Each structure stands twice: as structure tokens, then as C-alpha cells.
Homo-oligomer: A and B are copies of this chain.
């Protein structure tokens, strides 16, 4: 297992170097199933596309449903189907990147498979790792899934339009996440109403402009 992880990290380093040299910002989106990774991309892509060339590498265990959603949202997309494997690996990402239909790209989003556990252990060469947690999942999750939060640069609370229906405190989730990883930028947003999407998009654009490559 350690040898596999080392091999993964070697490939990931190569990817990150290549992206950094191209001026491409790579963002890895990580969450459990149904937290709204695809919906966040659908809401962000129209805003980002005004000034940026964007590619989405779309991971799924099975089916290309999410890739088709991204395609409908107007972005370049490459589907990565893991065939049951519980996380993306850098080698799969490298191959998908090689199959990109265009380029150069300013931003590449990597949507991981829906799993709040295993993907946290795999560097995909990203500059920014973003962990999502939706209001319906409960605000007790950061301490229960600490590695995803410890290895992230940003934390997005999603589906906040549903907060009235849940005993979910954004403040409680934020505090608990920051105890695990103090550097986290925290966002609260709703892909449905658009609330918070502007701040999130500005964060991604700033990172792309500054070529932020936060040390891992």
C-alpha cells in the first residue's frame, strides 16, 4: 500500500509541476455522495467561463451521468470511471488530462468520486483541495472525517438554502473544521439560489491569478 501511495505521489508531483508551468490552476473537489460537487460546478462554470478556459475531469465509480451534466453546462469535460475503485488516483487523472479536448486551460477542476474517506489520502496534483459538506449531512461531520478536512485548503458548506429544515449550524461546522485545519477558507453557499457562489468564484479566480500553490 505504501508503495502504491508513493507511486501516486510521484505522478501527482509531476502533474502539479506541469500544471504550474502551464499556468493552470488545479482544484480537487472532495465530498461524500450527493453533497453537491457537480451542482457547485454547474453554478460556477457560467461565471468562470466569462474570463477563463475551464476543463472538468469528472470522476465516478460507474456511469458518465455527471460528465453529461457538466457537458450540458458548456464546459470541456473528460469522464473518469474508476470501475468501482473508491477514489481517484493521480495516474487516472494524468491519463484523463492527456485526453482533454482542447487547451490551454486556466483552471482544471477534478471532481473526485463521492467518498469522504479514501480520496483524502490521494494527492492528484491539485493546487487547491476543497472539501464539501451539505447541510442535510449534519454539522458533526468534520471531526468524524478529519483527514478530508485536515488536507483541504477550503471548506464549502453547500445547500444552505435548506438550513431552515435542519439543525445544522454553519458556525459550529466552521469552528470544528478550523480546529482540524486552521488555514481553511470557509464558504457557505447554495447552488440552487446562487447565494455565496460569487465569493467562491472570486476565490478560485484569485487563486488562478496568483498561481497559488500552497505547500502540501
Contact = CB atoms under 8 A, between A and B. Distances in A.
Contacts of A147: 84
Nearest to A134: B136
A32 interface: yes
Nearest to A118: B86
Interface residues of A, number: 30
Interface in A24-80: 32-34, 60-63, 65
Nearest to A84: B147
B34 A145 contact: no
Task: Determine chain A's interface SS by DSSP, over half rule.
Answer: loop
Nearest to A137: B34
Given A115-B115, A165-B162, A143 B32 contact: no
B84 A34 contact: no
Interface of A: 32-34, 60-63, 65, 84, 86, 113-118, 134, 136-138, 140-141, 143-147, 159, 162, 165
7 contacts: A33-B141, A34-B134, A61-B117, A62-B146, A86-B86, A86-B115, A114-B144
Given A32-B32, A162-B165, 15 more contacts: A32-B34, A33-B116, A34-B136, A34-B138, A34-B141, A62-B143, A62-B146, A63-B144, A86-B118, A114-B144, A115-B116, A115-B117, A134-B136, A136-B159, A136-B162
